[in-house]
Chains A and B, each alone.
Chain A
Amino acid sequence: MKKYICFLMLGVLFFSSCSSDEDLGESLIDTSTPELNEVDEWIRENYTYPYNVEVKYKWDNSELDNTKILTPTTLDRVIPFLEKMKEIWVDPYARNGGEDFMKAYIPKQMVLVGSHNYEDNGGIVLGQAEGGRKITIFDLNYIDFDLSGLNSWEKRRAMEPILRVFKTMHHEFGHILHQTIAYPVEYKKLTTGYTSNWMNFSNSEARGMGFITAYSLLNPDEDFVEMLSEFLTRSNEDWNELIDKIKVYDENYYTDEDASKLARIKIREKEKMIADYMLQIWKIDIYKLQADIAEVLDGLSN
């Protein structure tokens, strides 16, 4: 009997909703095309149409942490940054993983912020990823890609913020990949000693423990993406040099050869596991991807 009453109610609702013939008038939703400037047009052509990505470079407090003191981007730094981001991150992944891969997994919203993002403890947040859909990048007003006229020392200095921000992109993208399909659980057992007090360690101390950076000590996920981003933002030659030079010192400041070798082995094991994961899951040869990115970075600094 209850069933019949429900059907009767739905029927009444259905007919009374559709029986009205009134004029609904003009839509209240503003569907007019917004006025686009040169930067907006460029973003549409290079990010929105090919990858369905929204890039927010204008100030929008609702996209940011209201407790932070931040500034918007300088307009004329937006296109150069996005161009380089495409060259160093989007295009190499698209070439090595396929256009469809990149279209599927690229974060669909990018928020650009001009200033540093300071933490209360004095630390600086370089980038943030939220649920694989949104990436916020800070520091844009401090990145200059025009290295012409600089000597080699000045170029190295100028490359530091560039590498830092693109390492952040690779780091955050790494999170999206492992959050989509997890890396093997064995990775978490390769090294122990994860700690929330990672900031009390230097990078070289962390490397001596089998972690590529101090931040890798935070947890296995950060370890995984730090490995990936450190690997992808240097040439294979530089990467090998970094690993091969890892040294652990004993209490008398003599090199502890056994401990040094163990640390190198741990990192190499992580490297192999990441290479296998990327190849098997995402069909990406990270050595080819690394060479691809290194070529772009080399062109930038020379």
Chain B
Amino acid sequence: MLVLFTACDNDFESEFDLAPDERAAIAVKEFKDALISSEHGWLTHYYPNPTKLGSFTFQFKFDETGIVNMNWDYYDFPDESGYSVKMFEKPVLIFDTYSKFSKMTDPEIGEPGKGFGGELEFSMTKKSADGDTLYLAERVSGDPMVLVKATAETPAQLREYAKHTKHIERSNEQVVVPFYFNLSVEGWDTKVNMVYSGDKIIAFLNYVDNGEAKHELMPINFTHEGFEFHHAVVLNGIGVRSFKYDETKNQFDVTDEGVTGAFKYEADCPAHFDGMTDKFFGPKTFGGSAKIVSPKLANLIDGIYPDAAFSYLSTDTYVASWFPCTFNLNFDDWNSLKIKVNYNKKTEDVVVMEFLGYRTGWSAPFDDLAYIEGLMSTEKGQAIKDIVASPKGWTIVPIELKEYGSSYYLVSNEDPEMYMCFGLTYEDD
């Protein structure tokens, strides 16, 4: 009986003035009000999977009716999604119909069946004192999404992102520059070379630290001024993260406070890796295609064959024991000029293509050895042969190292303005 009466006592003091449901409703309303409060919407650099991918930049404009208009740096055309704000353990923003942002979770994009690894639900964490920044977190993984108030200039700035992508992607490169995109920083005693995979918005940093060659994966975030790393690279106690493009010098200057340095296109390779020649050109390795070719190398090859333009390069490293290895110049009419070579290991990451002659093909005119020799005896042909079979060889610069399907650059040591990329294509970009 005593327990019964004690339990029915209504005179308890609540810590709050309002009931839980009322407080939840207020929190939801405050979050929604904050989302729709920005005149030009919000800008976010969203990392769907910061261990594997770079960031995707979106501009969101939320309205009262539950529609969010959006644009992103990747495709410059607007889209919209339904959105809602609901209370779970915290107020949660949900992108609830398909839009460009849904690509962050689409199992058809990125890793098959797994997608980019992003999420569609974000809980509100906090708001900055001035209300210009909203800090959100993915509901399942807890990874952050930060919304920064956009301005009237944001849509125009988004279009700048693509330009910077082109600078470091090296595809469709127009300006002739040496291959190595090296970061030098005052106070560092090493340079950091960067190669970039636009498929994943990931940079691969190659450098030597305390005598040891390092190959580090670094997600990239583009900005309208340049780009930034997901996290700082720290060497000798000096951290570097943000870069701004300087058009006059064609370089990216470090913008981190108190740090001087820049990414420049250079001829020297700052880090050499063991095992590259064996991995890509050793016995029982398979060839590949290089569809990204530096403008200088492409211009050198283009015009050698009068019937069709130059298309791409390829290697046959170990086709079959009774066939020689070849280095192939492929043209738009599907014909190939095959140079017979031995892929000789000069160092751990330098391969030399020893010239052995030419291999005739099955179809005219490359079924005629005299025709091939005629082409290659011209001044242009001799220049091609000289660069391909240079005794200085080609340095192998890894992009992504996997058991199968690795990608890498071959950079001429004769002329570092000549290089080709195996593995990456960007055909789907």
Contacts and interface: CB of A to CB of B under 8 A. Distances in A.
B4 A114 contact: no
Interface in B38-74: 65-66
A254 to B, nearest CB: 39
Contacts, number: 78
A220 B21 CA distance: 48
A51 to B, nearest CB: 23
A66 B65 CA distance: 28
Interface residues of A, number: 29
Interface string A16-58: 1100000000001110000101000000000000000000011
B354 to A, nearest CB: 44
Contacts of A37: 66, 82
Interface stretch (B102-110, B285-293, B377-385): B102-110
A104 interface: no
User: By CB atoms of chain B within 10 A, which of A13, A35, A57, A118 has the most?
Assistant: A118
B113 A118 contact: yes
A9 B1 contact: yes
B10 to A, nearest CB: 8
Nearest to B105: A71
Interface in B1-52: 1, 4-5, 8, 19, 21-22, 25
Interface of B: prevailing SS: loop
A59 interface: yes
A290 interface: no
Given A9-B4, A28-B22, A73 B97 contact: yes
Contact of B105 (A9, A58, A69): A69
B107 A70 contact: yes
A141 interface: yes
B140 A58 contact: no
B97 A69 contact: no
B98 interface: yes
Given A28-B21, A72-B102, A58 B97 contact: yes
A185 interface: no
B191 to A, nearest CB: 39
Nearest to A56: B96
B96 A58 contact: yes
B98 A70 contact: no
A114 B1 contact: no
A61 B114 CA distance: 16
Nearest to B111: A69
A12 B3 CA distance: 13
Contact of B108 (A30, A72, A75, A115): A115
Contact of B107 (A30, A61, A66, A118): A118
B4 A12 contact: yes
B120 A61 contact: yes
A122 B113 contact: yes
B316 interface: no
A59 B8 contact: no
A69 B115 contact: yes
A59 B107 contact: no
Given A30-B25, A61-B120, A75 B107 contact: no
B95 interface: yes
Contact of A75 (B82, B84, B103, B113): B82
Contact of B98 (A12, A69, A141): A141
B121 interface: yes
A285 B22 CA distance: 55
A74 B98 contact: yes
User: By CB atoms of chain A within 10 A, which of B82, B94, B114 has the most?
Assistant: B82
B19 A72 contact: no
A59 B95 contact: yes
Interface in B114-166: 114-115, 117, 120-121, 139-140
Nearest to A27: B21
Nearest to B92: A61
User: By CB atoms of chain A within 10 A, which of B8, B65, B97, B139 has the most?
Assistant: B97
A35 B5 CA distance: 44
B139 A75 contact: no
Contact of A74 (B8, B25, B94, B97): B97
Given A9-B1, A59-B96, A75-B97, A114 B107 contact: no
A69 B206 CA distance: 33
Contact of B139 (A60, A61, A73): A61
B106 to A, nearest CB: 5
Contacts of A29: 21
B94 A71 contact: no
Nearest to A78: B97
B106 A71 contact: yes
A130 to B, nearest CB: 21
A205 B98 CA distance: 39
A270 interface: no
B33 to A, nearest CB: 16
Nearest to B140: A66
Interface string A55-91: 0011111000010011111110000000000000000
A104 to B, nearest CB: 31
Contacts of A59: 94-97, 120-121
Contacts of B25: 30
A60 B97 CA distance: 10
Contacts of B84: 58
A66 B105 CA distance: 12
Contacts of A141: 98
A25 to B, nearest CB: 9
A72 B98 CA distance: 5
A60 B98 CA distance: 13
Nearest to B64: A35
Contacts of B112: 118
Nearest to B98: A74
Given A72-B98, A75-B97, A35 B66 contact: yes
Contacts of B82: 37, 58, 75
B16 to A, nearest CB: 13
Contact of A71 (B4, B19, B21, B98): B98
A69 B113 contact: yes
Given A61-B120, A71-B102, 10 more contacts: A12-B4, A13-B4, A16-B8, A29-B21, A35-B66, A58-B97, A69-B105, A71-B103, A72-B120, A74-B98
9 contacts: A16-B5, A37-B82, A58-B84, A59-B95, A59-B121, A71-B98, A72-B98, A118-B107, A118-B114
In order of increasing CB-CB distance, the 10 nearest A-B pairs are A118-B113, A58-B96, A59-B96, A74-B98, A28-B21, A71-B102, A69-B107, A75-B97, A69-B115, A71-B106
